[in-house]
Structure formats: structure tokens, C-alpha cells
Amino acid sequence: MLLEDKTVLVTGVLTPASIAFECARVAQEEGAKVLLTSFGRARALTERSAKRLPDPPDVIELDVSNPADLEALTDELRNRWGRVDGVVHAIGFAPADCLGHDEGIFGATWDDVSTALEVSTYSLKALAQATRPLMAPGSSIVGLDFDASKAWPAYDWMGVAKAAFESLARYLARDLGPDGIRVNLVAAGPLRTTAARSIPGFARFEDVWGGRAPLGWDITDTKPAARAVVALLSDWFGATTGEIVHVDGGAHAMGT
Ligand SMILES: NC(=O)c1ccc[n+]([C@@H]2O[C@H](COP(=O)([O-])OP(=O)(O)OC[C@H]3O[C@@H](n4cnc5c(N)ncnc54)[C@H](O)[C@@H]3O)[C@@H](O)[C@H]2O)c1
């Protein structure tokens, strides 16, 4: 099994449609011990989803924009496991004006944008910082990305946040590499999750993606992305860091 005896922290499970839910499921199937995180009112939903995993995991409180939660997370993981072998970052949020605004990129204020960047981008560094003391050489951090090399319809400031996320992953790979910790991203094609449904106009991607992707694309199937996440968590990608693996049916590689 790919993750035999490994301890993996999975953020971002909201519903069974969440990409992170499938990551947790595949990780357990591959032998990992898993803990989930959630926060505030979302927690009840996460706990309900957790019950549908093969081995229902505990849920730890974590709002990535709350320093006290991050500090408590380190202690909680130290007490429960003593070490963390893998971390899945599957967190994204942007205030409504950041996405699909009539005025496009001009629709959002700095207050909106700073929230989007804090929760969707900076959080990768915050999570890495909280888990780093517990990560031994061979550990792996994997984040969920949406290809930020182009300007997409409606994605707007979330696209900017993802571009910074991609850059941040490379800098984290640089700074954690000497500790033997890998940092990689999986750039998934559009998937019909709660976060995606909150983006006005996102349906436009969903409609065209399958036609652009040489392998085709199923917007309801999170398994290919989850399997790539688990592979990157495993020792089978032991010399790969700062990488973005596209799991999008091949759409990113096509001219039209
Ligand atoms: N759905 C897609 O089409 C798609 C494609 C590529 C990448 N992604 C990325 O995948 C990741 C997971 O999103 P998803 O599509 O599975 O949607 P989702 O709505 O199921 O998950 C988003 C998660 O972010 C969490 N979150 C939001 N604010 C948070 C905070 N302050 N602290 C902690 N957690 C917080 C939510 O609780 C939720 O669990 C996101 O980074 C998203 O950008 C999604």
C-alpha cells in the first residue's frame, strides 16, 4: 500500500463531493492514518462526511486564518501522533465580489482580496509552518490548485490567489527541501464541489472542459485528482518537489 503506516492530515473536507473527501478515502485505502480539519459552522457537515469514510477520522478545529487554531493544531498533532508524514491543503475561499463580478477584476476591494489571499494562498505557508516541527525527512505537503497560467472567465481574484499559491509552493519547496520535506500541487480540472458551485459562471468551464481535454473530463469524479494527491504524498515521488501535476484530462496542454 502506498501510504502504509503514514499519518496524513487532510484539510478541506466539507461534503463527500469535496476533493479532500476523496483524498482522505484513498489515503485510508492505501494504509494511512487520517485526521481531518474543519471550523465553525462547517464542522457539523465535516463530521457527517467523516462518518462516510472507511475508517471515520476525528475532526480537529482549524480556521487557517486563526493563529490560535494553528498553534493548537501543532500541539494536537504532537499529542496524537508525534509526527506528521503528509499534509493535504484543500482550502479555498474568496468573498463574493472576488468572483464573477459584473466589473470583472475591478469589482473587489482590497479588503475582499486580502481575505481571499489569506485563506486561499497564505494558508499554505501557515499550515506548513504549523506542521513542520512534526515532519521528518520524506514527509510531503500537497495542495489543490487550479491552473493559474491563464485568465479564466469568472475565476478573477481566485485566479490571482492561485497564481500566488503556485509561486508560494515553489518557495516552500525551496525552504523545506533541506529538511527533506516535499511540496507539490495537483492542478485539477473543474469539479462540482461546494466551492465551485459558489463561483458564478463556473458552469462555463464545466461545459467546455470535456471538449478541450483529450482524455475527456468528468466534473463529478474527484478520484483522479485524489489519486494524484496520494501518489505525491507517497514515497513514489521521493525526488519531486516544487512541481505542479495537472489532473485535468490533458486540457492544459492543448492549444484550444
Ligand atoms: N472544485 C474545483 O473545480 C477545483 C479545481 C481545482 C482546484 N480546486 C481547489 O480544491 C480545494 C478544495 O476545494 P473543493 O473544490 O473541494 O471545495 P470544497 O468547498 O469542498 O472545499 C473547500 C474547503 O475550504 C475550507 N475552508 C474555507 N475557508 C477556510 C478557512 N478559513 N479555514 C479552513 N478551511 C477553510 C472549507 O471548509 C471547505 O472544506 C480548493 O483549494 C480549491 O480551490 C477546486
pLDDT in tens, 120-135: 999 999 999 999 999 9
Residue 192 alpha carbon, nearest atom of ligand 1 = 1
pLDDT band at 203 (very low <50, low <70, confident <90, very high): confident
Phi/psi for 150 (5° steps) reads -135, 160
- Ligand 1 site residues (CB inside 6 A) read 11-15, 18-20, 38-39, 42, 62-65, 90-93, 119, 144-146, 188, 190-191, 193-196
End-to-end CA distance of the chain: 39
Percent of the chain with pLDDT strictly greater than 90: 94
pLDDT band at 2 (very low <50, low <70, confident <90, very high): very high
* Cα 243 to ligand 1 centre (Å): 20
Give the count of beta carbons closer than 10 Å to the beta carbon of residue 238. 12
- What is the pTM (predicted TM-score) of this model? 0.98
Q: Up-side HSE of residue 197: CA atoms within 13 Å toward CB?
A: 7
Work out the average pLDDT over 176-192. 98
Does 206 score more than 90 pLDDT?
Answer: no
Q: What is the pLDDT of residue 207?
A: 80
By annotation, the residues acting in catalysis are 155, 162
* Cα 162 to ligand 1 centre (Å): 12
Angstrom distance (rounded) from CA 37 to CA 47: 9
Residue type at 170? R
Q: What is the pLDDT of residue 72?
A: 98
Work out the average pLDDT over 136-143. 98
Does 15 score more than 90 pLDDT?
Answer: yes
Query: Rounded mean pLDDT of the chain?
Result: 96
